[in-house]
Amino acid sequence: MKQVLMGNHAVSYGARLARVEVISAYPITPQTQIVEELSELCARGELRARFVNVESEHSAMASCIGASAGGARAFTATSSQGLALMHELLHWASGARLPIVMANVNRAMAPGWSIWTEQTDSLAQRDTGWLQFYCESNQEVLDTTIQAFKISEQLLLPSMIVLDAFFLSHTYEPVDVPEPNEVDAFLPPYRPKIKMEVNDPHAFGALVAPENYYEFRYNIQKDFERAPEVIERVGREFGEQFGRYYGLVEAYQIEDADLVLVTSSTITSTARAVIKERRARGEKVGLLKIRVFRPFPFAALRQALLGVPKVAVIDRNISFGHHGIFYSELKSALYGQDGAPLVFGFVAGLGGRDVTPQTINEILDFTKAHDFPEKEIYWIGLKSQESEDEKREYSEVSASAAK
């Protein structure tokens, strides 16, 4: 049934349709409505789950770990500072092979306080052993929430569904909400092979000597390596049942493109409109959305981008002292490959600054006008404190955009 939902409620309804059994959460803007709605659903008896009102995000993740170890389907949601507070336990969840699903609303890290969108919070957790899905629309948020449980439970790895603060979390869009019985047919109940059980007692997570620890980590990596195939298969199963397909990446007009823009999250929607316009003007430009960041889709990216002359990556995030994180990871996927494109890295939209069609046009114009990426980061739309170099750079970008 089509409903008009905010992104946060798309998460809540996805979790309800997945029949989560334990929810443990702590409020933080702009996530709070996700768990408010879930507690309402529990209170009204529309969701049969235990809602644990913990005193911190750290305890939220800890109680999800306890619940998942006890064999229950566990869910939480957080954002920014809350996700950072969970950091230690993100490692614990994946190390314990617990298929917890969490929504993270991308929000910039303080100080200064910002409640607006930026991906640095979730990308800073990239090494914790969680699958990460970056969503573009509220429909994708709801569908990914349902899929994430199936993917996680097959891989015994936790999943993070990521959505932009406000641009998705608080924005209303029409969403096709599947019927519960349809989702039940897609997603069977969670039946773990091993869990805390009095009839079959085991110790979980005991001290492990160097002779064994190495192999535990190897096993996690092996499952990440088979994750792309699982994500694509679950995506196809979902598509066959619901008519909406999602993969690791999503390409738009890249077949003959001599410049491909690489984006994630809601910037993609704006970029798609720009690409459409420029295609209509006869420009050979295309768009590649990265939906799954962990596992990083090496094969899909190589298949899409090898042979393309130039790629421009837009990062709404930064690894200080390095550069945009999608940019750096994409370069690592292309390095040493035949036909690897020149990759230009643009940092834009930090702290929720709008990334407008004009911003994206500036990026495309700049990339077209330059033969080689001389800098690791190009900042777009800097207002102050820029060096003389960057002022020159910026006016150059503006000038070429104006042409």
Partner 1 sequence: MMLHLQTCRKGNMKNFDIPDTDYMYPGHLACPGCGASLGMRFALKALGENTMIVLPACCWSIIAGPFPYSAVKVPLFHTAFETAASVASGLRAALDMKGQKEVTVMAWAGDGGTFDIGLQALSGAAERNEDFIYVCYDNEAYMNTGIQRSSSTPEGAWTTTTPEGYLKTRPKKNIVEILAAHRIPYVATASVAFPDDFIRKLQKARQIKGTRFIHLFSPCPPGWKMSSDDTIAIARLAVHTKVFPLYEIEDGEKYTINIKPKGLPVQEYFKLQGRFRYLNEADYTRIQHDIDHRWAMLEAKAAVGNKQYLRHTA
| Positions that interact with partner 1 (CB under 8 A) | 21-22, 24, 48-50, 52-56, 58-60, 62-72, 74, 88-89, 92, 196-198, 200-209, 212
Closest separation between CB of residue 245 and partner 1, Å? Answer: 33
Number of residues that this document lists for the chain: 403
In terms of CB distance, is 100 or 146 closer to partner 1? 100
- Provide the pairing of β-strand 310-315 with 342-347: parallel
The tokens of 381 are what? 């739309």
Closest separation between CB of residue 99 and partner 1, Å? Answer: 13
SS3 for 9? helix
Closest separation between CB of residue 160 and partner 1, Å? Answer: 18
SS3 for 330? helix
In terms of CB distance, is 212 or 384 closer to partner 1? 212
In terms of CB distance, is 202 or 403 closer to partner 1? 202
Q: How many CB atoms lie within 10 A of CB 383?
A: 7
Separation between Cα atoms, residue 62 and residue 59, nearest integer Å: 5
Closest separation between CB of residue 190 and partner 1, Å? Answer: 10
In terms of CB distance, is 172 or 204 closer to partner 1? 204
In terms of CB distance, is 202 or 383 closer to partner 1? 202
Query: How far is Cα of residue 171 from the mean position of the Cα atoms in its chain?
Result: 18
Which helix (H) or strand (E) is 305 found in, with range? helix 298-305
The tokens of 244 are what? 């909406």
Per-residue burial over 184-198, b if 16 or more Cβ lie within 10 Å, else e, is eebbeebebeebeee
Whole-angstrom CA distances from 76 to 140, 156, 278, 351 are: 18, 17, 41, 24
**Beta pairing partners, 330:** none
Contact 121, 350 (CB under 8 A): no
**Beta pairing partners, 290:** 249
In terms of CB distance, is 53 or 332 closer to partner 1? 53
Closest separation between CB of residue 33 and partner 1, Å? Answer: 22
In terms of CB distance, is 219 or 395 closer to partner 1? 219
Separation between Cα atoms, residue 235 and residue 191, nearest integer Å: 21
Closest separation between CB of residue 220 and partner 1, Å? Answer: 15
Closest separation between CB of residue 49 and partner 1, Å? Answer: 7
Sign of the four-CA dihedral 208, 60, 230, 124: negative
Closest separation between CB of residue 283 and partner 1, Å? Answer: 53
In terms of CB distance, is 97 or 310 closer to partner 1? 97
In terms of CB distance, is 63 or 145 closer to partner 1? 63
Closest separation between CB of residue 208 and partner 1, Å? Answer: 4
Query: How far is Cα of residue 351 from the mean position of the Cα atoms in its chain?
Result: 17
Sign of the four-CA dihedral 363, 108, 317, 288: negative
